[in-house]
Amino acid sequence: MFKLKPSRLRCSFCGKPDTAVAKLLAGPRRIYICDACVSVCNRILESVPPGFTGWDSLADSQLLQSLAPAQAAAEGTRNVLQQQVDVLRGRGVSWAAIGSALGISRQAAWERFS
């Protein structure tokens, strides 16, 4: 008789296993999100002013105030994506496979992430 290995839970967004994150929140249909991805989401939400009705409806000062949080959210997302690509490359996954998953060419993936 053999024993089944317990399956590890993973963040549905960045793919980190539960052992590599501080917290992992469960959602519906076996969707999970880690504390790092929640942090990125919070930065995205902070970049959108309350009562948002479109960028054109904001005063210049409001739009200028939203730039720094938006940049922080974009940088956080870029960092997560770079970490994922670094792990995949460390596992020997090809640039072609990474590019295909991102909907870009192998060359574009290499230029962006190497």
* Structure confidence at residue 4 (pLDDT): 45
Q: How far is CA 29 from CA 12, 26, 33, 37, 39, in A?
A: 11, 9, 12, 18, 22
List the chain pLDDT tens, one digit each, 114 residues: 555 445 688 888 888 888 888 999 888 888 889 998 898 888 778 777 777 788 888 889 988 988 888 888 788 888 889 999 999 999 999 999 999 999 999 999 999 999
Q: Distance between CA atoms of 79 and 71, rounded to whole angstroms?
A: 12
Q: Residue 11: inside a domain, yes or no?
A: no
Q: Residue 9: inside a domain, yes or no?
A: no
Place of tokens 């948002």: 52
Q: How far is CA 102 from CA 16, 58, 81, in A?
A: 18, 33, 10
How many degrees, rounded to 5, is the angle at CA 83 between CA 81 and CA 89? 105
As for how many domains the chain has, the answer is 1
Q: Residue 4: inside a domain, yes or no?
A: no
- Which range of residues forms the domain containing residue 106? 18-50+57-113
Q: Both tokens of residue 35?
A: 């504390």
* Structure confidence at residue 87 (pLDDT): 94
Q: Residue 25: inside a domain, yes or no?
A: yes
